[in-house]
Amino acid sequence: MERVDVLVVGAGLGGLSASMFLALEGVNVLTVERHPGTALHPRASGQTPRTMELYRFAGIDRKVLGVSERASRGLRITVASSLNGTVFHQIVEDLDEYDLSAATAAPWGMAGQDVVEPILLERAREAGADVRFSTELVSFTQDDDGVTAVLRSRDSGEETSVRAAYLVAADGGRGRIREALGIGTSGVGAIAHSVGVVFDADLGDRLEPNVTDLYYLQNSEFTGALTNTDVPGRYVCAVDLHPERGETVDDFPEERLVRLIRIATDLPDLEPKIQWIGAWEMAARVADRFSAGRVFLVGDAAKVTPPTGGMGGNTAVGDGHDIAWKLAAVLRGDAGPGLLDSYEAERKPIAEMVVTTSLHNAKERMVPDLDLTGVAEPVDQIALTLGFRYRSGAVLEESPGSPEPLPDGSRPGAVLPGYGDLVENPVEPSGRPGFRAPHVPVGAGSTWDFLGHAWVLFSPGGWGSAVEEVRAETGIALEYRELDEPVFRSRFGLQQGGASLVRPDGIVAWRSPEGVADPAATLRTVLARVLSR
């Protein structure tokens, strides 16, 4: 029987991200995927600055930007009858509308899933991950010590057994692992169905060149979408499918799709070359639990969200990174198993906000008749991207207080109207535990240059010897960064002698705005609590 630390089932964005980050942490990880290779469809396109921060941790951020010529050249989102028809609503005219340079050193990315997955795969294998395609999970059982799985090669039919300490289920929204665990879902459910088609054509000036140009189309013939891709001259079009009327993808032969593409583009003589046709369901579901025993759900296995807003794939990457660093900490002995309880506590609220916000986007852009009675209000997408808050045992909340004002007199951490304390304005960070560590310029770089590979204690001074002492005692990768500029103290909410402990994912785990009597004892206690040691 083969033995590994972690078995990952599924090699989409969530599964490959988990595999890559696990391997980079030195974990023995095996990943299996039933399909013969990575995605051929662009599907989840675009990377938020948060995702690019995570990719930077892995050293692939430049590659991801490099595979998309559209990465830094703009974004346009339009609701219209067709590419040259009536414009009903201009949602985004220029990516500059979302300038977040004050909140992060990371840029936006625009690459499609089809070109990002090979980069994740290459980096995972470089780091030591074993990734096997055309291999499916047949069955699995778990006990107190691990998971036993039966795998089958779809090419030869040969079955093998694998024993793993943990299983990461990244097998998608229709995967069987969640169901096998008896975990249900809640949410609106199926909203609409579409037939997607990838095609090559010369659309002339119908789409803005060298930017991500996304159209949501509403006309008398169909409702759908059309956008460009990272492959020059290649586009993706989706048109509505009505299974309630008995329609299937077979009712959309190439000649019908060509006619609809001509209507969408206002090019009656266009001769598109069809590259791929497939059906997909737009749905909104969140798993009732994100784990069961030694099995953890990531990506679409944990939540299915409408594509409107581009948050599904980004959330999957976040899931993969979150469970990876936590599993690695437990497997190394840095943390107790209780740290893994923070995965659901932190990631499920994110999934719920993503699904809710995407639903409202879907109503505005694609499904105007969608009934959202009882659905919560949407969350500001910028706040959800960089101003989200984690609450779990891996974060020690402090007593409420008023952060020191910024140099311009404004107060950091302004709560956005209608969102309670779920998110804050990332441009005015509070530095409070549970939020991302503030981005503060340091020389030609940023405080984020120090993050991603260890626990980091930031302080204006007085904690260096404590960090050395605790690091020597525990063996935990713990670094110390002493910064004493006024903007740093203000954004991190620290006075002289204060300290902020930041996790490997860039989240503030604990903060003491002022000095403490015994820094080493305090740091020892804090780490024991947040790591469930």
How many Å apart are CA 58 and CA 484, to the nearest integer?
Answer: 29
Phi, psi for 17 (deg, rounded to 5): -65, -45
Say which DSSP state 47 is in: B
Ramachandran category for residue 107: left, alpha or beta (phi over 0 → left; psi -120 to 50 → alpha): beta
How many Å apart are CA 330 and CA 73, to the nearest integer?
Answer: 42
- Residue 122, C-beta contacts closer than 8 angstroms, at least 6 positions apart: none
Supply 281's token pair.
């369901």
How many Å apart are CA 482 and CA 412, to the nearest integer?
Answer: 21
Is 390 annotated as catalytic?
no
Give the pLDDT of residue 93: 63
Q: What is the pLDDT of residues 441-473, one digit of tens each?
A: 998 899 999 999 999 999 999 999 999 999 999
Burial class (CB in 10 A: 0-12, 13-18, 19+), 41: middle
Give the pLDDT of residue 325: 98
CA–centroid distance for 84 within its chain: 34
The least confident of 314-323, 343-352, 373-382 is 373-382
CA–centroid distance for 497 within its chain: 35
- Residue 240, C-beta contacts closer than 8 angstroms, at least 6 positions apart: 192, 193, 194, 195, 222, 223, 224
Supply 74's token pair.
């703009």
Instruction: State the Cα angle at 250 between 249 and 256, rounded to 5°.
Output: 90
Residue found under tokens 């402090």 = 398
How many Å apart are CA 192 and CA 370, to the nearest integer?
Answer: 9
pTM score, two decimals?
A: 0.90
Q: What is the pLDDT of residues 197-243, one digit of tens each?
A: 999 999 998 987 778 889 999 999 999 999 988 888 999 999 999 99
How many Å apart are CA 106 and CA 508, to the nearest integer?
Answer: 18
How much is the mean pLDDT over the chain?
91
Are 39 and 346 in contact, with CB atoms under 8 Å apart?
A: no
How are beta strands 147-153 and 135-142 bridged, if at all?
Answer: antiparallel
| Total Cβ atoms within 10 A of residue 67 | 17
Give the pLDDT of residue 70: 60
Share of the chain above pLDDT 90, in %: 77
More confident residue, 520 or 68: 520
How many Å apart are CA 211 and CA 76, to the nearest integer?
Answer: 7
Give the pLDDT of residue 487: 94
List of E strands, 233-330 = 234-241, 273-287, 291-292, 295-297, 303-304
Give the pLDDT of residue 97: 61
Phi, psi for 318 (deg, rounded to 5): -60, -40
End-to-end CA distance of the chain: 31
More confident residue, 108 or 151: 151
More confident residue, 279 or 138: 138
Supply 324's token pair.
């990876």
- pLDDT at residue 414 greater than cutoff 70: no
How are beta strands 441-442 and 445-446 bridged, if at all?
Answer: antiparallel
Give the pLDDT of residue 94: 60
Confidence of residue 521 (pLDDT cuts 50, 70, 90): very high
- pLDDT at residue 324 greater than cutoff 70: yes
Name residue 528's amino acid: A
How many Å apart are CA 148 and CA 164, to the nearest integer?
Answer: 6
How are beta strands 499-502 and 455-459 bridged, if at all?
Answer: antiparallel
Average pLDDT over residues 336-363: 95
Average pLDDT over residues 424-428: 92
Confidence of residue 137 (pLDDT cuts 50, 70, 90): very high
How many Å apart are CA 375 and CA 356, to the nearest integer?
Answer: 7
Give the pLDDT of residue 44: 81
Closest CA to 297 of 179, 421, 217: 179
The least confident of 66-75, 186-195, 266-275, 407-416 is 407-416
Say which DSSP state 304 is in: E
Instruction: State the Cα angle at 362 between 359 and 363, rounded to 5°.
Output: 90
Are 495 and 401 in contact, with CB atoms under 8 Å apart?
A: no
Question: Which CATH number describes the domain made up of 387-530?
Answer: 3.40.30.120
Topology of the domain comprising 187-283: D-Amino Acid Oxidase; Chain A, domain 2 (3.30.9)
Residue found under tokens 């893994």 = 340
How many Å apart are CA 479 and CA 501, to the nearest integer?
Answer: 10
Closest CA to 224 of 84, 92, 86, 367: 367
Give the pLDDT of residue 41: 76
- CATH class name, domain 2-69+107-185+286-365: alpha beta
Are 285 and 303 in contact, with CB atoms under 8 Å apart?
A: yes
Confidence of residue 333 (pLDDT cuts 50, 70, 90): very high
Confidence of residue 405 (pLDDT cuts 50, 70, 90): very low
Give the pLDDT of residue 39: 87
- pLDDT at residue 67 greater than cutoff 90: no
Residue found under tokens 């919560």 = 376
E strand or H helix at 359: helix 341-365
Catalytic residue among 216, 343, 390, 419: 216
Please state the domain extents for the chain: 2-69+107-185+286-365, 187-283, 387-530
